[in-house]
Structure 1
Amino acid sequence: MTTSNKLYIKRTQRDYTLGFKLQVVDAVEKGEMTYKQAQAIYGIQGRSTVLTWLRKHGKMDWTQNPRKNAMHKTTKPNESPAQKIKRLEKELEDERIRN
């Protein structure tokens, strides 16, 4: 039998503090990075660990199923930036009322 020169490093489970989890969730929800980028930057081992934190501690809807009542794309070709802002503010207000 031949033995390999490669060293096997056993993966270990890490326990993350609640403060660390909230910091990562906050950074992702602010749009500073994607959840996959956060995983790479912070050295988080699990593939879906950050996504699980987002679902549990986040303020946004991170479910993988698309919402049935998602906002429609109603972009109009001749819409000015001011008109677009006004329309988006109205849609946001409608969504807040609905929630």
Structure 2
Amino acid sequence: MNKQTSKPILKAPAKKYSVAFKRKIVQEYEGGLLNKDRLALKYGIKGNSTILKWCRQYGRLAYPTSPHTQMGRPLKDP
């Protein structure tokens, strides 16, 4: 029986973006012309929440931190 050796999966190192580039992306997103997915495709940005994280850091608009922090229906008194 032959022994199969598995090769380790190598990941590419994370890309570093300049602050000016991040601010440009946030400005385009807040301008409303393109959504986050389109901007990620246009500039080759990986990650599902990268642009949202940049918007929280450098943006002017308020962004929700989590969907679970939104107010729901008020509770009824017993």
Cα distance in 2, alignment partners of residues 51 and 61 from structure 1: 11
Structure richer in helix, relative to its length: 1
The letter for the 2-side match of 1:22 is: R
1:10 aligns with 2:11: yes
**Identical pairs, percent:** 28
C-alpha RMSD over aligned residues:
2.3
The alignment of Structure 1 onto Structure 2 pairs a total of residues equal to: 64
Partner residue in 1 for 2:30 = 29
Partner residue in 1 for 2:20 = 19
In the superposition, relative to structure 1, how do residues 9 and 32 fare at CA in structure 2: closer, same or farther (>3 Å)?
A: farther
The letter for the 1-side match of 2:26 is: V
The letter for the 2-side match of 1:28 is: Y
After superposing on structure 2, the runs of 4+ consecutive aligned residues of structure 1 that deviate more than 3 Å are 64-68
Q: Which moved more, 1:8-17 or 1:38-47?
A: 8-17
Gaps of 5+ in 1: 69-99
Structure with larger RCO (C-alpha < 8 A, sep 6+):
2
TM-score w.r.t. the length of structure 2 is 0.67
In the superposition, relative to structure 1, how do residues 58 and 16 fare at CA in structure 2: closer, same or farther (>3 Å)?
A: same
Partner residue in 2 for 1:83 = none
Partner residue in 2 for 1:54 = 55
